[in-house]
């Protein structure tokens, strides 16, 4: 028995719809994690939080506590260092070998202000987390000796 063109198009449309649904589910999962779903009022709360923060910054500027223009200009500018390796960049062992990698996550301390609090964290694509307390001039590895399940050789 042969199928007609409408049946074939209908099946293709269903497959595309399923794939689209899976993509949508993944997108929502990433944004909701660790919750099961995104709260109904999340967008409204985000806008309210942004408004509060903008008001706070304007009030600080009006009171003379901070000049928003010079504060922003005083912050260091991030500059790309790669893709070339960092010479002798290995943070442990001897000899210190050249290293390269890719940063997949950047986070700043919630109290980061670029002056009194300059704490920044980065996560590598292949693993590893580093912390800087001087706006990225120097880095301390936080995960050089990760604990492996069942491995007691590196227990503390």
CB 109 within 8 A of CB 133: no
Average the pLDDT over each of 4-8, 20-24, 84-88, 129-133 and give the range with the smallest value.
4-8
pTM above 0.85, yes or no: no
Domain ranges in the chain are 80-147
* pLDDT tens-digit map of 71-129: 667 667 777 765 677 788 776 778 878 877 788 899 999 888 888 999 999 998 877 89
Dihedral of alpha carbons 132, 98, 124, 75, sign:
positive
For residues 65-101, b (16+ Cβ closer than 10 Å) or e, as one string? eeeeeeeeeeeeeeeeeeeeeeeeeeeeeeeeeeeeb
Q: CA–CA distance from 43 to each of 31, 39, 50, 56, 100 (Å)?
A: 12, 9, 11, 20, 38
């Amino acid at each position: 028995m042969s199928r007609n063109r409408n049946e074939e198009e209908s099946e293709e449309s269903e497959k595309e719809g399923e794939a689209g649904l899976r993509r949508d589910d993944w997108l929502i999962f990433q944004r909701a994690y660790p919750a099961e779903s995104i709260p109904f009022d999340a967008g409204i709360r985000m806008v309210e939080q942004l408004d509060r923060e903008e008001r706070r910054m304007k009030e600080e500027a009006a009171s003379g506590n901070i000049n928003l223009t010079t504060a922003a200009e005083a912050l260091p500018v991030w500059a790309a260092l790669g893709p070339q390796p960092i010479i002798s960049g290995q943070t442990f062992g001897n000899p210190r070998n050249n290293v390269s990698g890719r940063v997949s996550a950047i986070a700043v301390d919630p109290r980061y202000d670029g002056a009194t609090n300059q704490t920044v964290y980065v996560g590598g694509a292949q693993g590893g987390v580093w912390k800087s307390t001087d706006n990225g001039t120097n880095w301390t590895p936080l995960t050089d000796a990760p604990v492996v399940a069942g491995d007691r050789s590196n227990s503390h």
